[in-house]
Amino acid sequence: MTATGAAASAGSVRYDRARESATVLGIYLASIAVALMVAALVLFATGGSWTSVLSALLDGSVRGPGRWGTTIGVGIPLLLVALGTIINSRAGLVNLGQEGQLFVGAALGTYVATHIGVGGPGVLFLIMLAGVAGGAIWAGIAAVLRYQRRMPEVLTTLLLVFVAAQAVGYGLKNKNLLLDPTPDQANRNLISERLRPDTRIPRLDWFGNDFPMTAFIALLLAILVTLVLRWTIVGFRLQMLGRGPRTAHRAGVSEARYGGLALVISGAFCGLAGAFMLTGGDFGNYRLTPNYPVNIGWEGLLVALVGRNHPLVVIPVAFVFAALRTGSGFLAATGVDRDITKVVQALLVLALLVPPAILFVRDRRRALAAAAERV
Amino acid sequence: MVGDFFVAVGDVLSSETTYSSGWRLAVALAFVAVGEWIAERAGTINISVEGSMLAGAFASAMGYDASGSVAVGLLIGAAAGLLVGAVQAHFSHNLTANQFVVGLTLNILVLGLASFLNSSLKPETATAHVFEVPGLVEIPLLGPALFGQPWPLYLLYPLIPLAWWLVYRTRWGLEVRAVGENPQAADVSSIDVNARRRQAIYVAGVTSGLGGGYLLLGQVGWFEDAIVGGQGFIAIAAVIFGGWTLRGAMLGCLLFGSANSFRLSLPAVGHPLNSELLSSLPFVLTICVMALFAHRTREPQSLARPFIRGLR
């Protein structure tokens, strides 16, 4: 091949690559646009105005005084749940039990916090540890059932969500478990005792926006997950298990050990998210309440999906999802029901599921056509 | 403590209302379980039946509000269930997106959409009138439960044998079962694997939509966000509990429905019993049954495994 020919083909490769990424970007933008259009249509059909909705969402999430601090506070557990989800997805396992793992983590944290009787940083650390243990145990049940009894982890994690809600609900009815034992406490309020001030996470105040310090821990964990997945042997083996279980098996990667590990770590992240919610102050005012996870577990799962299972990409996605949540509180003034944000979130997720599938089908078709030509 | 429990059981078992309410709750689950059973025999698990059910409930409320007829309401409910099922089917068995992810997202979407539309449209609804089957309603204890109910409940009775006939006695059913057991073999016998799976999910969508419509127009009478409240998941649990047989799935529905009505009627009878235990019973029992009898039940061999030709 001559020098000019090589240069020309290099140029055309570059051109092809540019065109390829433009197509991919175009498909993504088109499907997001369709999702937003559907959301706008729903809004339009019920007589809402999308400009006022958008401005209320922005006011509630970032523009209003002190609002972006709240949004960060809500984003922390979302980010943690998403990080856990990334680990099991990379290992080729589907965990649908985040909501339950988070709840058990928060409940165990509450138990430790209310029964230990003293406060201080050591106790705060113990609460975190209890949260991690709670989430890990709840996911561990599914892991044991998966690798001892060959039960699909998808079903067991999902079913355990409902068991968790009932188990914690039982705890919240008993004074020697979680229920606030204060005598003047009305019997119908099924809430736990309030956490002592010295077992709460210190809140930072930046420009009138305050948020718990755990935000930095969450960011560090995101970096840590990135590094572990990219540079360590454990991370490599986990992803090998996800990409090709047979190859992993032949390379001596124990499916039970690494798959189980992935599930337990995933649960631990969710449990930690629960402990952070409890001690952070943005949820339930330092008390455990029934329905405490308020869908953070499900939404964290969606954050991981939208972030395409990348531990750094999920950081801004978690913030956007948190902004939709905190912004929805300001929608009442516009007369639009706050549930519209749920619709927007779900539509966005559905829209982002389409492009990879389209690309996959297209590439297959191309590969098949190329194979047919060669014959 | 144990004695109290048996006294409570005795009190509950001797009252006719227990049977009626247990049967009503079981029927709502059975509508969903019948369709989900077919879908699972085709090798798919669609957790979007929860969303289908909720969509069916809300759409039948809208349909009833607009037309004033229960039949039209149910029809629109079934259509809404079908719509959710169609989205699930095409995303996961045409576009090859993960079926659990799609199902979960659809559940969130439908919940958001239904509560949003409900707060702005506020449909007015009522329950369907009770139809007593002459003669049969006279049977002691069970008669009023089985044959003295709002008429949409009776739609279930022909649905069960119909589903059985469809799956075991038609070519379509044979192909659905083949697709659930060994899609590669079905594919080389020129069965369109993903088309059969999609069709099975359509069926699940329709019956779940009907179940939601029945729940609204036959049982509750007005729409609320928590009207379904996880019953779709309980129906999925019932199908697994029943070891992927129609008989077993219906038994599971009956058991879980009765457990639920027990929970609701115990306070009325005046016995404190752990309601959390009864609420979590369907899920705990299903997990235990799966763990204990895993080697004895025959699950569809390619359950929850997507089929993409050439990939294994």
Read off the pLDDT of residues B93-108 as tens digits, 9 standing for 90 and up.
988 888 988 998 999 9
Choose, out of A166, A331, A345, the residue to mutate when testing the contact with B (most B CBs < 10 Å): A166
Cα distance between residue B84 and residue B202, in whole Å: 9
Q: What is the pLDDT of residue A232?
A: 94
Report the gap between the CA of A122 and the closest CA in chain B (Å). Answer: 34
What residues make up the domain containing A122?
49-335
The partner residue sitting opposite B116, judged by closest CB among A149, A301, A343, is A343
pLDDT digits (tens, 9 = 90+) for B199-240: 999 999 999 999 999 999 988 889 988 899 889 999 999 998
Give me the pLDDT at residue B191, please: 94
Domain contains A70: yes
Q: What is the pLDDT of residue A372?
A: 76
Is residue A86 a part of any domain in this protein?
yes
The answer to whether residue A315 sits within a structural domain is yes
Please list the ranges in chain A whose pLDDT falls under 50. Answer: 1
pLDDT number for residue B273: 63
- For chain A, the domain total comes to 1
Q: What is the pLDDT of residue A5?
A: 55
Choose the closest CB to B109 out of A155, A343, A354: A343
> A118 near A301, Cβ under 8 Å?
no
Mean model confidence pLDDT for chain B: 87
Residue B198 has pLDDT above 90, yes or no: yes
Q: What is the pLDDT of residue A1?
A: 44
Contact B283 A160 (CB under 8 A): yes
Contacts 24+ apart (CB under 8 A), B160-169: B160/B30, B160/B34, B160/B246, B160/B250, B163/B34, B163/B35, B163/B37, B163/B38, B163/B246, B164/B246, B166/B38, B166/B203, B167/B38, B167/B41, B167/B246
CATH number at residue A282: 1.10.3470
pTM recorded for the entire structure: 0.88
B278, B10 contact by CB (below 8 A): no
Among A21-25, A352-356, B14-18, B194-198, the range scoring the smallest mean pLDDT is B14-18
Interface test with B, best of A98, A350, A361, A362 (most B CBs within 10 A): A350
Binned at pLDDT 50, 70 and 90, residue B264 comes out as confident
Q: How confident is the model at residue B137 (pLDDT cuts 50, 70, 90)?
A: confident
- Interface A–B counts its CB contacts (< 8 A) at 135
Question: For the segment A47-72, what is each residue's pLDDT rounded down to a tens digit?
Answer: 777 888 888 888 888 888 888 899 99
Mutation site, A145, A160, A343, interface B, largest B CB count within 10 A: A343
Domains of chain B: 2-292 (1.10.3470)
Which residue from B minimizes the CA distance to A332?
B119
> Could you tell me the pLDDT band of residue B296, with boundaries at 50, 70 and 90?
low
Which residues, listed in sequence order, are joined to residue B132 by a DSSP beta bridge? B148
Q: Looking at the predicted structure, is the pLDDT value of residue B59 above 70?
A: yes
Please check whether residue A270 lies inside any domain of the structure. yes
d(CA A219, CA A197): 25
Residue of chain A whose Cα is closest to the Cα of B235: A159
| Average pLDDT estimate for B110-117 | 92
Q: Over 90: is that where the pLDDT of B265 sits?
A: no
Question: What residues 79-98 of chain A have any CB closer than 8 A to a CB of chain B?
Answer: 94, 96
**Greater pLDDT, B159 or B275:** B159
Q: Do B106 and A357 touch (CB under 8 A)?
A: no
B158 — pLDDT class (breaks 50, 70, 90): very high
Tell me, yes or no, whether A120 lies in a domain: yes
pLDDT at B269: 61
**Confidence at residue A97, expressed as pLDDT on a 0 to 100 scale:** 92
In a domain, A371, yes or no: no
Under 8 Å CB-to-CB from A14, ≥6 apart: which residues? none
In a domain, A362, yes or no: no
Exposure string (b/e) for B193-230, b if CB count within 10 Å is 16 or more?
Answer: bbebbbbbbbbbbbbbbbbbbbbbbbbbeebebebbeb
Residue A272 lies in a domain: yes
A130 in B contact zone (CB under 8 Å): no
User: Which of B150, B169, B258 is CA-nearest to residue B214?
Assistant: B150
- Band of residue B5 on the pLDDT scale cut at 50, 70, 90: low
The CB density around residue B164, as the number of other CB atoms within 10 Å, is 16
pLDDT at A78: 96
Picking from A42, A94, A159, the nearest residue to B100 by CB comes out as A94
Which chain A residues touch B291 with a CB distance below 8 Å?
145, 149, 151
**Chain B environment of A167 (Cβ under 8 Å):** 276, 280
Q: What is the pLDDT of residue A328?
A: 86
CB contact under 8 A, A302 and B95: no
